[in-house]
Amino acid sequence: MKLAGYRPLYPGTQPEHLHPPYVSSLKRSPAKPQVRIPFTLSEVTGPSFRPEIVNPKACDLTKQHSGEPLGERIIVSGRVLDENARPVANTIVEIWQANAAGRYRHDVDQHNAPLDPNFTGCGHAITNERGEYRFVTIHPGQYPWRNHYNAWRPAHIHFSLFGPSFATRLVTQMYFPGDPLLPFDPIFNCTADEKARNRLISVFDWETTIPEQALGYRFDLILRGREATPMEE
Amino acid sequence: MSLQATTSQTVGPFFSIGLHWLNQNDLAAAGVSGERVTIQGRIRDGDGNGVPDAYLEIWQANAHGKYAHPEDTQKKILEPGFSGYGRVPTDREGMFRFTTIKPGPVPGPGDEDQAPHLLVSVFMRGLLRRLTTRIYFPDDPRNAADYILSLVEPERRATLIARRTSQTGVLEWNVVLHGGDETVFFDLGL
């Protein structure tokens, strides 16, 4: 069986597992080198989901309760492409985030900021034929964490995508332009390549901004692309 | 045109609010063919403590050795009740448990069949990108000739092979993130 593998990642554009400024990585990152393996049928295939499982209302995080959530309404939209600039259609995009006060609806989050009864902070969508997705949500708040003294996370939205195969799985975070906490955040700064980490910052976008309603932010996601020529396995 | 893949970031501690809707710890519906197995274990950090805020994702072929994916063009039977996908969070002690069927062999390099295996992605707070590994099955004679296992130092291969337990049909497989008996993780990029 002839298989096209996936292109090697551009050096420095992905984090190392161990990033000492991010304290949680010390005890949870492997100490031994990972074993390089060739792509086989197992890695170039991957889970797919019936579009019917997607709740069409799950892309509007401001309409999940009887009332309106507090905070600044925003539109977060973009395209999912591969490294060859081809749209990734019919792939599930999952997001989760803090509310406007910087608090997650999660038992472990004990930050002394109010929960919002009208905001759960999670959603999902499926990309269309052009690889596009769109969410309506609330601008998440910044919040403190205990990584180091006076540590605060910049505002962010978590993204999780499958793409077409096991090899393309991506979990990342989207940030906001002009956030003064970005230079100090060890998670944002875990990647050596400055241009690569700056691509995690969404772009304010007039085109998707709705007058009298919500500001638009664009965030495109790039999944790994295939090698051009199938290798003889 | 050439773009660069988006930088990975950690799932953080609160992923369950966004990801639980696709949890799947029972991969094989009634009627799906194959030998049922329950795989359970624990994820431990470098201090030996269980990791309560982690999850595994599973990807596997069906009992005929066929993936439910368009790139698997083998003339083998697809079973509509089996997608091959699982997503399993750990509990407060770092324990996980899921039930599936033992997959059939799938082709590997050189068109030699690979030994039956599950692919596993590991996500948690503290991991800036996922870890990927495999689960092989105990006492399977095909393990000895498996191309991927042969790339692993012999003394570390056992970390990839589930162990029988005193319960029939229940296997144990653990993830050790860091330290002496560290699980073998594979380099696929992300």
Give A14's DSSP letter: S
Tell me whether residue B110 is in a domain: yes
Does the model's pTM come out above 0.95?
yes
Nearest to A215 by CA among A138, A131, A133, A126: A138
| Structural domain includes residue B2 | no
Note whether residue B1 is domain-resident: no
Residue A193 is assigned to a structural domain of this protein: yes
CB-nearest partner of A170 from B8, B16, B84 = B8
Residue A12 forms part of a structural domain: no
Q: What would the two tokens of residue A213 be?
A: 């309603």
Which residues from chain B sit within 8 angstroms of residue A190, using beta carbons?
Answer: 9, 128
Q: Residue B21: its chain A contacts at CB < 8 A? A: 122, 124
In-domain check, residue B72: yes
Express each pLDDT in A20-68 by its tens digit: 999 999 999 999 999 999 999 999 999 999 999 999 999 999 999 999 9
Residue A63 within any structural domain of the chain: yes
As a whole number of angstroms, the distance between CA A190 and CA A202 comes to 18
pLDDT of B2 = 85
Instruction: Say if A19 falls within a structural domain.
Output: no
Residues from chain A that touch B57, judged by Cβ atoms under 8 A, are: 47, 169
Is residue A190 situated within a structural domain?
yes
Specify the pLDDT at position B111. 75
CA distances from A215 to A101, A121, A138, A233, B13 (A): 18, 18, 10, 50, 28
Closest to B50 measured CA to CA, from B98, B96, B99, B15: B96
Q: Which residues in chain A are closer than 8 Å to B74, comparing Cβ atoms?
A: 1
Task: Give the nearest chain B residue to A96 (CA atoms).
Answer: B18
Q: How far apart are CA A79 and CA A130, in angstroms?
A: 7
- Domain membership of residue A124 (yes or no) is yes
CATH number at residue B157: 2.60.130.10
Residue A1 in domain? no
* Cα B70 versus chain centre, distance: 21
Answer yes or no: is pLDDT of B190 > 70: no
CB distance from B139 to chain A under 8 Å? no
- CATH number, position A192: 2.60.130.10
> Per the domain annotation, does B11 fall within a domain?
no
* Cα–Cα distance for residue pair B117/B110, rounded to 1 Å: 18
Q: DSSP for A102-169?
A: S--SSTT---SS---TT---EEEEE--TTSEEEEEEEPPPPEEESSSTTEEEPPEEEEEE-TTSGGG-
Q: Give the whole-angstrom CA distance, residue B116 versus residue B137.
A: 7
In a domain, B103, yes or no: yes
Mean pLDDT rounded to a whole number for chain A: 96
The two three-digit tokens of residue B72, written as one number: 């698997």
In total, how many domains does chain A have? 1
Among A176, A172, A177, which residue's Cα sits nearest to residue A187?
A: A172
What's the average model confidence in pLDDT over B144-172? 97
In a 3-state reduction of DSSP, which class is residue B53?
coil
Q: Give the integer Cα–Cα distance in Å for B179 and A73.
A: 46
pLDDT > 70: what percent of chain A? 97
Q: What percent of chain B has pLDDT over 70?
A: 98
Domain boundaries, position B119: 16-176
pLDDT at site A233 = 44
What are the tens digits of pLDDT across the range B163-179? 999 999 999 999 999 99
User: Looking at the predicted structure, is the pLDDT value of residue B156 above 90?
Assistant: yes
B67-126 residues touching A, CB cutoff 8 A: 67-69, 71-74, 83-85, 106-111, 114, 117, 119, 121, 123-126
What is the model's pLDDT at position A1?
A: 66
E strand residue ranges, A2-70: 35-36
DSSP annotation of B103: P
The whole-angstrom distance between A169's CA and the closest CA on chain B is 7
pLDDT for res A231: 55
- A contact residues 13-72, partner B, Cβ 8 Å cutoff: 13-17, 19, 22, 24-49
Share of chain B above pLDDT 90, in %: 95
Contact B50, B93 (CB under 8 A): yes
Enclosing domain of residue A166: 37-46+53-223
Residue B131 lies in a domain: yes
Write the residue in B9, B152, B187 that is nearest to A171 by C-beta: B9
- The answer to whether residue A229 scores a pLDDT higher than 90 is no
| Across B105-127, average pLDDT | 95
pLDDT confidence of residue B110: 82
pLDDT tens-digit profile of A150-184?
A: 999 999 999 999 999 999 999 999 999 999 999 99
Residues B16-54 as b or e (16 or more Cβ within 10 Å = b): bbbbeebeebebbeeebebeebbbbbbbbbbeeebbbbb
Residue A126 amino acid letter: I
**A31 domain-assigned:** no
> Nearest by CB to A34, which of B19, B73, B186?
B186
Average pLDDT for B108-126: 95
Q: For chain B, how many structural domains are there in total?
A: 1
Amino acid A2: pLDDT: 73
Establish if B67 belongs to a structural domain: yes
